Chain A
Amino acid sequence: MSKSVHLTKEDVLHIAQLANLPLSEESIEKYQKDLTETLHYVENLDELDISKTEASSHTTDLQNVFFEDGTKETRKFTQEQATQNAKNIKNGQFVVKRLM
């Protein structure tokens, strides 16, 4: 991480593609500027010595949480419930784009 981080227009388009986000042509420059600015802001972390520090993935030191196998009948969705919010349903199933 150094001050040299400067996102190009191509970087923004690549990130948007990875995140599957459609961007309008005129917004690209704005994102380029905003994202670069944010990346510069977080450079203050370089001031700290973390050479001997372990990473924290969470905060309350929980370990090995298990879930009982199976599920309760009351938690199961019917097919109708599971599809009730979908925009495109055929024969009770989700319609997706053709993959092959």
Chain B
Amino acid sequence: MDLFGKTITELQALIKEKKVAASEVWEYFVKRSKRHNPKLNAYVSLLEKPSNPIVKGIIPKMELWGIPLAVKDNYCTKGVRTTASSKVLDDFISPYESTVTSKLKLSGYELLGKTNMDAWAHGASTETSDYGLTKNPWDLGRYPGGSSGGSAAAVAAYIAPGAIGSDTGGSIRHPSAWCGIIGLKPTYGRVSRYGVIAMGSSFDCPGPMTQSVEDNAMLLQIMAGKDPYDATSSPVAVPDYRSKMKTKRKLKIGIAREYLKGVEPDIQTAFENMVDVIKKMGHSVVDVSLMSPEYSISVYTIAQRAEVSSNLGRYDGIRYANNRAYFGQEAKRRIMLGTYTLSHGYYDAFYKKAQKVRTLIKNNFKKTFEDVDLIIGPNTPVTALKVGEFEKYPFFGELMDQLNESASVAGIPAMSIPIELDSKNLPIGMQIMGNYFDESSIFNFAYQIEQETNFFDVIKKGREKYK
């Protein structure tokens, strides 16, 4: 059977109906990964064997039985090398399992490989990885975006049917937009951070990256929930995303013009076309006013660097991993900025001020969501840049994530979905932001768009080259 392009949901059905064996699915993706990874460099480590014993003829009642997924290399996976794409952790074999991958394991998934990323998730290109750049499957001369660039490229080229990423300031949404797939940053605390190598602890959100909205909702369903090992994970009940997704709701959608400033004309046009489609679908669209994303960049820059300096302080080279001389330039830059803004005499001027503005940004979103169900806008200011072009942009990471960081600062959920291609034949992403813990409305809306447009076949066109 030809498995090419099948969603996770479709693969699940095929396995369940015994039309394909779990072992065949595993071999299929291993073969594809081995064939295409040398040019894409999506993986830091590719697994040789499935971890679940596959017994012929027996299908355990596990939701993800036989489904191989690619997981970003900042998730601790027991007995498997976990590097966060930094030489500091070059030979680190995790002695324990993250909560997210534990939950996936309990559901029967297979770990296919650990995906490349910007080292420590610092960046928006995978350029800072100590294991080389990941290439964008749409154009191998371009960045996949980042930091979850390996996960995005793996899904876009269909060397994995789905992947897990993490998003601190856009690290799921940004590469999803540049590679033309669906990526969700859930509400902060919706998914446990336990066992995810910490970057900015008040921002970090694990999330799914997929080819279909249903796959995305299904994976979040498994990943979400309160975890005793992450005190910041939320006790708010997890709704049944898929059943809520399929009732066609008429939603009130807000557009913040502040988020269209400085965005490439092709992206503006695609976005305006999308707004027309949304109106024709019967949703109401209104203008809303949000604080300029420029303030979010500043809050993010101060608070995230401060948290980085604290989180990366644990790498002493004594208990595990290499010593601090192994940190790359970007990590050093961030650690030093955070050390400075947290140091005596500067705390109030930087860190505390940033945390106060963070309150303003949160309140701004809370007030706006009293009036609308969702807020939409372009996901990135430009489509995938050519390798090397990042040097043209000082402050590259923050600039590329400028439309993503507000949701991260506020802690609200946000998704990137593909909407058309630009004149360079590169995918364009639209961001859908929702209220706290209202992933359901995002899924509902994205699913309706998928039914109506099939995302203009962007996802299909992306993988076609890798048939």
Contacts and interface: CB of A to CB of B under 8 A. Distances in A.
Contacts of A59: 188-189, 202, 358, 362, 409-411
B256 interface: no
Nearest to A34: B333
B100 interface: no
B438 to A, nearest CB: 13
A85 interface: yes
B251 interface: no
Interface string B182-212: 0000011100000000000010000000000
A20 B357 contact: no
B299 interface: yes
B298 A41 contact: yes
B302 interface: yes
A68 B349 CA distance: 38
B202 A57 contact: yes
Contacts of A16: 332, 336
B335 interface: yes
A54 B357 CA distance: 9
Most-contacted residue by chain B among A16, A54, A59, A85 (CB, 10 A): A59
A39 B352 CA distance: 15
Nearest to A61: B436
Contacts of B360: 48, 50, 53
Interface stretch (B55-63, B173-181, B322-330): B322-330
A65 B187 CA distance: 18
A16 B335 CA distance: 9
Interface in B398-414: 409-411
Contacts, number: 143
Interface stretch (B131-139, B240-248, B272-280, B337-345): B337-345
B353 interface: yes
B187 A60 contact: yes
B355 A35 contact: no
A31 B336 contact: yes
Given A22-B324, A42-B298, A60-B189, A54 B232 contact: no
A60 B438 CA distance: 13
B368 interface: no
A18 B357 contact: no
B231 interface: yes
A98 interface: no
A86 interface: yes
Contact of B359 (A34, A54, A65): A54
B320 interface: yes
Interface string B223-259: 0000010011010000000000000000000000000
Interface in B259-308: 294-295, 297-299, 301-302
A58 interface: yes
A50 to B, nearest CB: 4
Contact of A55 (B188, B317, B359): B359
B388 interface: no
B443 interface: no
A27 interface: yes
Interface residues of A, number: 51
Nearest to A55: B355
A37 B319 contact: no
A86 B319 contact: yes
Interface in A30-83: 31, 34-35, 37-39, 41-45, 48, 50, 53-60, 62, 65, 67-68, 75, 77, 81-83
Most-contacted residue by chain A among B96, B337, B360 (CB, 10 A): B337
A65 B231 contact: yes
A85 B96 CA distance: 12
A68 B228 contact: yes
Contacts of B332: 16, 21, 23, 31
Contacts of B354: 42, 45
A100 interface: no
Most-contacted residue by chain B among A11, A27, A39 (CB, 10 A): A39
A44 to B, nearest CB: 6
Contacts of B337: 35, 38-39
Nearest to A60: B189
A37 B395 contact: yes
A44 B294 contact: yes
19 contacts: A15-B336, A15-B340, A15-B343, A19-B309, A22-B325, A35-B333, A37-B394, A42-B298, A45-B298, A56-B359, A58-B411, A59-B202, A59-B410, A60-B189, A60-B411, A62-B189, A77-B96, A85-B320, A86-B318
Given A15-B339, A53-B356, A88-B318, 16 more contacts: A1-B349, A1-B350, A15-B340, A19-B313, A21-B336, A38-B301, A43-B298, A44-B294, A53-B357, A56-B356, A56-B362, A75-B96, A85-B91, A85-B92, A86-B318, A94-B318
Interface of A: 1, 7, 11-12, 15-16, 18-23, 27, 31, 34-35, 37-39, 41-45, 48, 50, 53-60, 62, 65, 67-68, 75, 77, 81-88, 94-96
